[in-house]
Structure 1
Amino acid sequence: MVDALPPLPAPQVPAPSRRGGRRRAESGDARRSRRSASAVPRGGARRASGQRRAHGLPGTIGVTLLGALLPGSGLVWSGRRALGWLVLLPTVLGLAAAGWYVGRDLRAVLDFATSPTQLKIAAAVFVVGLVAWAGVVHLTYRKVRPLQRSRWHTAVGQGFVVVLCLLVGVPVAYAARSALATSDLVSSVFEGNETATSPEDVTKANPWGDRERVNVLLLGGDGGVGRTGVRTDTVILASISVRTGRTVMFSLPRNMMNAQFPEDSPLHDLYPDGYSGAEDDGFYMLNAIYGQIPERHPGVLGKSKNEGADAIKQAVAGSLGIRVDYYVLANLKGFKDVVDAMGGITVNVNKPVAINGNTDAGIPPTGYIEPGPDQHLDGFHALWFARGRWGSDDYERMERQRCTIDAIIDAADPATLITRYTELAAAGKEVVSSDIPLDLVPAFVELALKVKDANVRSVVFKRSDKFFSGDPDFAWMHETVTRAIKPRSATPTESPSESPSGSPSESPSGTPSGSPTATPSEEPGAAVDARDSCGYEPVEGVEAAGE
């Protein structure tokens, strides 16, 4: 009989550890910190693998900031060289290439900056870049923060990352928004602007057709309440030297009668002796041509998106004896929005300028812009400074309009354009129309930069013993234009050139010799410096409206 096996000994159950509960309660992050304590001393240091972390909160913030300013550099510092250089190298090369591209060819940059398609692509790239940039900032922080840190350390560090992402994100988001705004503006104003009167011998490579000056008609249209259509009460021709940017502005009164048309224009066949007829004089003033010609003779000049603008271009060309290349029409109803978007303009007010009011109807103004030097006007007051007629005449208003343009040129400084660009673009697309072709926009932007730094002079055709708007002496007007655009020193590069017979020349033939000897106030039609003529010279005997 087999003896019974002895009983197995009872299993030894280890006594419960006093720290077991705390061990179970420890976070996974804390256990990892304790396991790596031998490799990473408290406060952070280089690990055996070659990776390292920052020392404390200041070090974490410093390295994260470095990684934000130069994406990838923080990762390289932390020892993650492959990933860091994968980010850092494209960033450095991209910035260097962009700087080289901008400094090498301004026209190429302007081509890019005025292409709706490329601007939309740029906006998308900005958005993708912003997401990637924010991701690199966050990753840099996670890779360099100490493994042992307090809750306060974590909270401050994460808050810093959020603020840093916002700081890098705002300018990038603004750039994307500006790119889309520019694309919208360029598409709205310069695409599909078919015209019958613009130069045909120009290309993107040769935007001026070998001409020495480009002549742009600036029109202020007022389609206000109670008016049918648009009346171009502001008519100013800007003749610009394409080499220097020097500009002469010719202001014509809205009530000028008997406007002439070039001999090769179909309108000259209809009105060989000037724009006149049996109806009321109001139908034949200069500001009526914009609306009357398309209504009476639709399609007479050929296919055009804006027949009225083409007609008044022809009228100004024939009346001044100078070629008119393009027009820019600003609807005065939206003019105040543009000025507000610029932050206002600064002008000298030499006498009270009425706000509202109707002289013919005997309706008094509701207020005045008071006289004073360097008056800063918002959009509403700038509009009335340019258009107010109560207590003055059309010629005074023409002078103020010219000063308004000069003030806008002054206000359009780089800082204003950068900080208020999206507002300007949004207002501009609702206000401005033009027949400048899209391909030529970069050349005009480059020319505008020259105009800002160049001398601007002006000629106002106002009542004198030489000029009467009811019966203008067009031969004298032609001579005045020639004298104004003739270079002060007779250099071949800017001397007026002849054009084929039957069409207005860049400057009329028969140039008078010499320059005006009298002061502008003594010589009708003299070209005066815009800044001098817009200075503060209060009218004696005229008190502020409130006094």
Structure 2
Amino acid sequence: MSVGPDSPAHGPAGGARVLRPPVRRRRGERSFRAAVGLGVLGALVPGAAFLAAGRRVLGAVTLVVFLLLVGGGVWLATGGRRTVLLTAVDTDQLLWVVAGVGLLALLWVAVVVAGFVMLVPRRLSSGRRALGALVVTVLVAAIVAPAVWASQLLLTQRELIAGVFDVDGRSATVEDTPDPFGNKERVNVLLLGGDGGEGREGVRTDTVIVASIDADTGDTVLFSLPRNLQDLPFPQDSPLHEVYPNGFEGANESDSLLNAVYRTGPAWYPGILGPTDDAGADFLKLGVGEALGLEIDYYVLVNLDGFSRLVDALGGITVNVNYYVPIGGDPGTGRLPDDYIAPGPDQHLDGVRALDFARGRFGLSDYDRMARQRCAIDAIIDAANPGTLLRKYQELAATTEDIVSTDIPRSALDDFVELGLLVKDASVRSVVFDVSVIDPAYPDYDRIRQIVQDALVPPAAPTGWAEEAPADGSTAPPSPVGEPAAPATVDGPAADVADACAYDPVRAQEALAAGEPPTYGG
């Protein structure tokens, strides 16, 4: 057959019949690829797929809503910290947020699916249909998975707030009112570290600190009381004053110390303060408040039994060690430590070793331990970076709910959020009532109250206080290994202790040069 100019193969109709099929395949191929690309773009920028499909009104409305949501998210991330925190402590609002996240994810999925339906050609091979379905499934999963994760975090936060801050809690020292702070100039919170756990009978509060916070500025003063303080007084209008007219007293000297009040007081006089969920904390609030001349508003108790779990959940903490820290050992029975944490900078400790670091006292003083506990808290704050908190929040929240108790009512959380925002940018100072300031066995409570008032309102021309701390940040000369360290404090208004946890190479090298501590046990 010859092919000429007038043959069907060269004619308009013939040419169309010969060339049209491959052209149609190429166009179909480009349409499918374009649909997939625009569909992915529509998932990233909701509304783009609708606009590409010619649905301008629907696409414009979807895009505007998306931009508003993005703008709101940027505002929350940059300037809406207060709103986020207030929402995070409101169990009802958290439920609404969970519902909103679910609805948003559902609508986003609907936008993605509808965009693909509008864009993808109707006639496709089975292979392309399967590929299109796979792309849509991946995009839907990319939307749903973060929404489920965010909802789980929000519900975990709600459970934490509901578990720690009991809306029906009973307290002998707190009245749940709509305006908890009222006209208070200062809010005083008792911070307790309970040394309970396996092998220990009851809870002894070895850490007793009062945080006195200026309600207008957030400026905070921390007052640390030694565990062996005796004769803790109680207010004259309290029923505790009737049974302890000369201050707190137990069956023996050990049970008469400050750290025994939480356990021994309620055991001897159950129900004396009326209905309450934590009588020991109420005993301490009244007694410590009277000792310092302050009205204690709330308490927060952290039980060290769960301290190691908290540290492990954070992936460990990093601390500076300036002297041998004993692991175990009992000064009362003479049982020697099992081992020591050697001096050195930037030591990374797991939960067990971090608890040893915070508890060790054999051959050292209570004030050494108090200082290390503050350093451990600082290290926990440093370890709690946003990435760690997001990855391990559920584990951290469960641990926190197990080890923290408080009488702060849920209705006061909004006020504490506002106060916390002030404290973050305010000054924090500390007064430690160690042996250079008071005699724990025979405390002068009038003098203690005067020191507290001086610290809260520093006089213009201070006199009679101890010398300033050395310029290198140390607060006391290095003590011999195995000997109690000299207390680090200032007799008078609060001192800045920001450098207390820094590495002291002189003291550390002296400890290392002395070799293993002579009290090392097998």
Alignment TM-score, normalising by the size of structure 1: 0.77
Q: State which drifts further: 412-421 or 394-403.
A: 412-421
| Pair 1:535 & 2:511 matched | no
Contact 2:188 2:211 in 1 (8 A): yes
| Pair 1:175 & 2:150 matched | yes
Contact 2:465 2:492 in 1 (8 A): no
Q: State which drifts further: 344-353 or 284-293.
A: 344-353
Correspondence for 2:193 among 216, 220, 229? 220
Q: Distance in 2 between matches of 1:325 and 1:43?
A: 77
Aligned length: 476
Q: State which drifts further: 410-419 or 347-356.
A: 410-419
Q: Distance in 2 between matches of 1:337 and 1:263?
A: 41
**Helix, strand or coil at the partner of 1:215:** strand
| Pair 1:351 & 2:323 matched | yes
Unmatched 5+ stretches in structure 1? 1-36, 46-52, 491-511
Q: Distance in 2 between matches of 1:243 and 1:418?
A: 32
Unmatched 5+ stretches in structure 2? 1-19, 470-474, 476-488, 518-522
Residue identity opposite 2:42 in structure 1: G
Specify whether residues 272 and 54 from structure 1 end up closer, same or farther in structure 2 by C-alpha distance, changes over 3 A only.
Answer: farther
Q: How does 1:117-516 map to 2 (within 5 A)?
A: 117-146=92-121, 157-191=132-166, 192-198=168-174, 203=178, 206-276=179-249, 279-464=251-436, 466-486=437-457, 516=465
Q: Per-residue deviation at 1:412?
A: 4.0
Report the structure number with the largest CA radius of gyration: 1
**Helix, strand or coil at the partner of 1:66:** helix
Q: Per-residue deviation at 1:462?
A: 1.6
Residue identity opposite 1:408 in structure 2: I
Deviations 1:340-397 (A, max 9, x none): 3334333221112222333333433333333222333332222222111123221110
Contact 1:483 1:515 in 2 (8 A): no
Q: Distance in 2 between matches of 1:326 and 1:259?
A: 18
**Helix, strand or coil at the partner of 2:154:** helix
**Aligned Cα RMSD in Å?**
3.4
Deviations 1:21-78 (A, max 9, x none): xxxxxxxxxxxxxxxx99x965569xxxxxxx97453x44442232222333322322
Contact 2:230 2:440 in 1 (8 A): yes
Q: State which drifts further: 95-104 or 527-536.
A: 95-104
Q: Distance in 2 between matches of 1:529 and 1:140?
A: 61
Instruction: Identify the residue that residue 505 of structure 1 maps to in structure 2.
Output: none
Contact 1:216 1:324 in 2 (8 A): yes
Residue identity opposite 1:197 in structure 2: T
Q: Per-residue deviation at 1:99?
A: 6.7
Q: Per-residue deviation at 1:286?
A: 0.7
Q: Distance in 1 between matches of 2:35 and 2:217?
A: 54
Q: Distance in 2 between matches of 1:100 and 1:480?
A: 45
Alignment TM-score, normalising by the size of structure 2: 0.80
Q: Distance in 1 between matches of 2:218 and 2:30?
A: 56
Deviations 1:299-334 (A, max 9, x none): 222321111111111111111112211100111111
